[in-house]
Chains A and B, each alone.
Chain A
């Protein structure tokens, strides 16, 4: 099977969902979520039959599109993330109905369900893109659908503010990436990454400054996408204001695809001797600054959504540690492993948070007080997520950090490892604050029963189980990495 048929299928699925929402008379739109989940699950299964050999070598898209192991792994990753977003949305429809104006009940839910499916197609193209033009258009597809999704809850001021902020800063970062691509194209005359790698050695030494300038601009824009320093300041407000399923999608899907693009874009320039040293210095500084900023800013947070947003910046820092050590053979698998662990624990935390905040009416840490006595299972799931995010042994998060630190030591970046270990200690403090609230504090007076749908229960159980399986037996995941 030709791998590109997966994206075609996902786009068709998104359009079919839109059509059904327009023509089928029903106020309960949740069947669309089930249709989407089923369709994406079919694509997930079909992805194991897709082989890059089925792309005709003379096809016009062959120079824009690759289906190597990393691309296929992250196509599955995007499909899984989107399925989890749809599962979260099933329990979230009441909030959408409250905050989106409409003539009939359930207005706006259909679009809210089909947009992530189209975004998923964009993510799948992004991880396959091998040409600056394909990178740019797929990146924009993803970013523009996120603008819409973040601002979706029109009656909520927070959501509108988040949408406006994300739009303006996103447009700025788009400007950076286009300008950077222009410089790289101006120096090399190519937009294809493989072609750029081929012409780099023949360039006159005088062009290297211009090339570094272009790569630097592209790097700044990609830092925006993966929420890394110096372009991280949008993260807390946007994460807090956006609808919770979209926050989870943004923090996992957008970040993972951004890192894959970063790896693909940096590879030719890191392999090019004269730029290697300078780029490595830049990446090391970015990693250090992101680690410090993300983890220190998370310390005083008392709102769980903001806390998780700063922790998302912190995790970008750990990932950058491995990006700065790309010369080590195990660096790529370590990044892929870390991103997969990050998917498991972040989605688990966000699913629990969406359920609790929907019933209690807020997402401060104090809203989680006494959760262990009210809903022991939800508290247990959150406990697993927090332990894994902090990096306690026998969880996926621990193995991810272990691999990343191992790679950084092998590359000789000892000071970065020391910094990483110190920031992990910060992480213990703020992640365990949530655990303390759940297990050792009295419940607030208003503490209604929290009902969980079957899909929510199954996905939480599966995620928690996978966190332990991957944490105890990491080979089970490493075998799948490209």
Chain B
């Protein structure tokens, strides 16, 4: 009986988890992103933004959108490694030693960065895109095949996002396979799963 009980409770947990997943996915599909000039938003209005709240309200829309900084300036290893690379605190400070922000809300966020840098504490970003550990995704192969600005194929138009959110469930194998089928490239399991 103990075994059955465990089985029951375990399956319930599974079921709840599955439903939560399913619900979230539909929500993501139902809400098409409106496209206002989001960099005009101030952090005070950020409560409605999608995606996880980050320790520093880093604005991809300002950096990559308004200022047109290439993705690879910060995500430096994406063309040579399976990992895209995160900008180091030093890299951020390379600009923000000088750039202090235009309005008070910007200044407040940049101050967080400067304090973290002064205290030699890295900023612990909340991960948005997590791939299951049994799948391997070589970023560099995809950049090589699709070009240096192909990031949005999977990550969406990050240059227009005030706060990064998940446009595509990159952890869903169907998402990968659809593209691989369209492009007539490998869909052998062992290319990613090993």
Do A and B associate with each other?
no
Query: Which A residues are closer than 8 A to B by beta carbons?
Result: none
Query: Which B residues are closer than 8 A to A by beta carbons?
Result: none
